Amino acid sequence: MKSKLNKDYKIFWLGQAVSQLGSSMTSFALTIWAYKQSESAMAVSFMTFCSYLPYILVSIFAGTFIDRASKKKILIVSDTVAAVCTISILLSLYRGSLVLAQIYLVNAVIGFMNAFQSPAAAVVTGLLATDGDYERASGLNSFSSNLIMVTAPVLSGTLVGFSGTGLVLAVDLLSFVFCMFTLFFVKPGENTQTSKTLNFHAKRKDREDIEFLKKKPGILYLMLSLALINFFSRLTYENILSPMILARSGGDTGIFGLVNSMLGAGGIAGGIFVAAGKGTKNPRKMIYLSAGISFLLGDLLMGAGRNAFAWSAAGIFASFPIPFIMAGQSALLYRTVPVNIQGRIFAIRNGIQYSTIPIGLLLGGYLADYVFEPFMASDHAAAVFLQGIVGKGPGSGMAVMFLCTGMLGALSSVLGYKNRSVRNLAGPV
């Protein structure tokens, strides 16, 4: 890939990245506030659940509207609604009337708007990034996302400590203003239709996405396979990584922070690598080979590791391949899906691919507390055998869960790679 990303896309990416940084800082600050108020991990988990549930449910039905409407207007409206929600929390915070129920409601509203914002942003990316630059654009997105993952908690925590949660919310509003400013300079070149034309062709267009998926079943299998991969990932990393590291390190928060930093650093490095055009030209390999490496080298080492060095290496192995997965999927979708139905296909993708995340979030904690940890504390022969691999004591059951997701995730990656429909979609190896 010798081409360079055009100026319009870079402006669009910068605005979206700054906006995401502000949103992530607010999310972290509100998580701290909610935990201090409730002293309940479930209350914090429910904040995430309230965001995901409407996002997944609405995504299935949002696609038709996204394809018919101006993507730029969708981005402006959705970001504006999110900003209004931030203002409402800021006002309640200063009046001393902020309660958890309001945060849950705001998260649900933002999740609802993200069901429109995310596919619209994806379509704009495809319109701004010329053919051959989709992987680079995805790599740049991965770079900024992982950089935000590392820096947002630090920046948010610093501002909270300096002047309280209100300052973080104010910074989030400034990031919204910057994002709106950049959007005025972006011209995605989308084609809009008159309402009369839209109504005339409504029924036919409503079936286009279904007909397309019937003709290209590889797209649907791609979504389903990545949904399974997301499930295994969220079963462990999003749920039990923190308690496992803390339990096995004797509560050393320094080690926990180091491992989290390595997870972010691996993603940043992978994003830079992809953005520089160093990935393979075969999207199927980028997706499934990268996923298999992430599970085998990341999850297995995370489970079998017993010190900071092993866990840090596992974090890098787990996160470095992720930008390649995202870039491979982006390349397949942008090069296969017609522009006029990309909004619907991306919305369906979000609904299917992310539907397993809440399930993994809820199931992972239950399995750790009530199945794997008690089992590894027993004298069962299988438990004794596994203790020789992961060790004994608190956290050993969660370590075994990482071994399980490592093997099952790698197997799901192989099955996805071997799927005939996906292979036909990607072309010959």
Q: Which residue has the tokens 């009337």?
A: 97
Residues 244 and 381 in one domain: yes
Burial of 251 from C-beta contacts in 10 A (0-12 / 13-18 / 19+): exposed
CATH number, residue 29: 1.20.1250.20
Sign of the Cα pseudo-torsion (419, 139, 348, 198, in order): negative
- What's residue 357's pLDDT? 82
- What's residue 400's pLDDT? 95
Lowest mean pLDDT among 164-168, 297-301, 404-408: 164-168
Residues 229 and 104 in one domain: no
How confident is the model over 361-393, as pLDDT tens digits? 778 878 888 899 999 999 999 999 999 999 999
Sign of the Cα pseudo-torsion (384, 385, 388, 389, in order): negative
How confident is the model over 187-196, as pLDDT tens digits? 776 654 433 4
- What's residue 146's pLDDT? 80
- What's residue 198's pLDDT? 41
Residues 221 and 124 in one domain: no
Domain count, the chain: 2
Domain range for residue 93?
1-184+193-204
Residues 129 and 255 in one domain: no
pLDDT over 70, % of the chain? 90
Highest mean pLDDT among 20-24, 132-136, 173-177, 197-201: 173-177
Domain boundary among 204, 235, 260: 204
pLDDT band at residue 132 using 50, 70 and 90 as cut-offs: low
Highest mean pLDDT among 66-70, 342-346, 394-398: 394-398
How confident is the model over 212-235, as pLDDT tens digits? 888 888 899 999 999 999 999 888
- What's residue 84's pLDDT? 95
How confident is the model over 147-160, as pLDDT tens digits? 887 788 778 878 88
How confident is the model over 240-292, as pLDDT tens digits? 787 888 888 887 767 877 887 888 889 889 888 887 776 667 888 889 999 99
Query: What would the DSSP string read from start to end of 351-382?
Result: HHHTTHHHHHHHHHHHHIIIIIHHHHTS--HH
**pTM of the predicted model as reported, rounded to 2 decimal places:** 0.77
Residues 251 and 371 in one domain: yes
Average pLDDT over residues 94-102: 90
Residues 175 and 137 in one domain: yes
As given in the structure block, the two tokens for residue 48 are 């995430």
318-345 b/e (C-beta count within 10 Å ≥ 16 → b):
bbbbbbbbbbbbbbbbbebbeeebbbbb
Average pLDDT over residues 324-353: 85
Residues 228 and 156 in one domain: no
Average pLDDT over residues 65-85: 90
**Residue 197 confidence (pLDDT) above 50:** no
Q: Residue 311 — left, alpha, or beta (φ > 0 → left; ψ -120 to 50 → alpha)?
A: alpha
Average pLDDT over residues 22-47: 77
Residues 302 and 176 in one domain: no
**Residue 45 confidence (pLDDT) above 70:** no
**Residue 402 confidence (pLDDT) above 60:** yes
Residues 249 and 148 in one domain: no
Residues 272 and 348 in one domain: yes
Written as one letter, the residue type at 185 is F
Residues 18 and 92 in one domain: yes
